């Protein structure tokens, strides 16, 4: 699962594909409309998904990629809860995904955002197993 080109933009719902970097902002692409748009760094903050980690109880962190993989692995027997569910239900679900998350430093709003991002990416079939990613990269390199 490659999160390198995925970016969250403050003030804008969803996740976007990073197309290009400018000195005063980013050019991002919407996954639904495929339209490209300039987003100014003066007005928005950008968070590449690959840089996000979740605090764990052992004073370490777990990468977002690992958390998403855990959610993906159990999606059949335990799909993500609704973000409008009770706080206890949301925390109980997240505990099945990442049992050792730091309950004091990982806020409910953080968990809700992760669930929203996961659902957004999963609905658009953007989770590609790493084996398939390697095959695609190898095929692309051979063609070049």
pLDDT of residue 20: 96
Q: Considering the domain boundaries, does residue 143 fall inside one?
A: no
Residue 128 lies in a domain: no
CATH of the domain at 102: 1.10.10.1650
Q: Is residue 113 in some structural domain?
A: yes
pLDDT-derived band of residue 127, with 50, 70 and 90 as boundaries?
confident
- The domain containing residue 56 runs over which residues? 52-123
One domain, residues 58 and 109: yes
Assess whether 45 and 70 both reside in one domain: no
Structural domains in the chain (count): 2
0.75 surpassed by pTM:
yes
**Does residue 73 form part of some domain?**
yes
Same domain (yes/no): 99, 41: no
92 lies in a domain?
yes
Whether residues 64 and 116 share a domain: the answer is: yes
DSSP letters for 49-81: GGG-EEEBTTS-EEEHHHHHHHHHHTTTTSPPP
Q: Which helix (H) or strand (E) holds 8?
A: strand 6-9
Taking only the tens place, the pLDDT of each residue in 3-37 is: 999 999 999 999 999 999 999 999 999 999 999 99
Q: Which phi and psi angles does 5 have, rounded to 5°?
A: -95, 10
CA distance 1 to 12: 23
Same domain for 23 and 74, yes or no, is no
pLDDT value at residue 142: 55
In the listed set 31, 49, 67, which residue is the last one of a domain according to the structure?
Answer: 49
Q: Specify whether the CB–CB gap between 2 and 68 falls below 8 A.
A: no
**pLDDT score, position 138:** 52
133, part of any domain: no
Identify whether residues 100 and 69 lie together within a single domain. yes
pLDDT at 130: 59
Give the pLDDT confidence score for residue 131 in this predicted structure. 55
Instruction: Quickly state the pLDDT bin for 143 (edges 50, 70, 90).
Output: low
**pLDDT tens, position by position, 69-123:** 999 999 999 999 999 999 999 999 999 999 999 999 999 999 999 999 999 999 9
């Amino acid at each position: 699962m490659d999160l390198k080109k995925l970016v969250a933009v403050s003030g804008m719902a969803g996740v976007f594909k990073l197309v290009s970097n400018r000195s005063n902002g980013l050019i991002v692409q919407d996954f639904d409309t495929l339209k490209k748009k300039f987003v100014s760094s003066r007005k928005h903050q950008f968070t590449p998904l690959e840089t996000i980690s979740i605090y764990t109880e052992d004073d370490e962190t777990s990468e977002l990629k690992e958390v998403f993989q855990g959610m993906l692995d159990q999606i059949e027997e335990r799909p993500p809860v609704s973000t409008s569910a009770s706080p206890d239900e949301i925390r109980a679900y997240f505990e099945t995904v990442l049992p050792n998350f730091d309950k004091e430093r990982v806020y409910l709003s953080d968990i809700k955002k992760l669930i929203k991002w996961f659902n957004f990416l999963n609905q658009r079939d953007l989770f590609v197993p790493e084996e398939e990613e390697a095959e695609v990269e190898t095929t692309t390199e051979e063609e070049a």
